[in-house]
């Protein structure tokens, strides 16, 4: 994990997945369940901004990166190609 930039939230997530995989080596679904349960569908950790509920109107999405942040319709271009008509035009 030396290559992961300091201040990133990745190390905690990586440690969790490794720990749970060691506990349940033959059950990846259990690890996935624990990841989901820990975050309750809403990542909460020191340094993460509050994530608003997603709506088609604002497209609020938590982008987890070195500096995690909420972005609004950040994937609008991709959605126009992958799912025409999915999001309203403004």
Q: Is the pLDDT of residue 82 over 80?
A: yes
Whole-angstrom distance, CA of residue 40 vs CA of residue 44: 9
Q: Is the pLDDT of residue 76 over 70?
A: yes
Q: What are phi and psi of 8, to 5 degrees?
A: -80, 150
Question: Within its chain, how far is the Cα of 80 from the centroid?
Answer: 22
Mean pLDDT for 72-83 is 82
Tens of pLDDT, residues 21-71: 999 999 988 888 888 777 665 555 666 677 777 777 788 887 877 677 888
Beta bridge partners of 60: 72
Residue 72 is inside which H or E element, if any? strand 69-72
């Amino acid at each position: 994990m030396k290559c992961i930039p300091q201040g990133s939230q990745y190390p905690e997530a990586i440690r969790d997945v490794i720990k749970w995989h060691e506990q349940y080596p033959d059950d990846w679904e259990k690890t996935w369940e624990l990841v989901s349960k820990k975050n309750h569908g809403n990542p909460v950790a020191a340094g993460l901004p509050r994530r608003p509920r997603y709506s088609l109107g604002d497209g609020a999405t938590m982008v987890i990166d070195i500096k995690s942040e909420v972005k609004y319709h950040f994937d609008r271009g991709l959605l126009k190609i992958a799912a025409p008509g999915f999001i309203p035009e403004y």
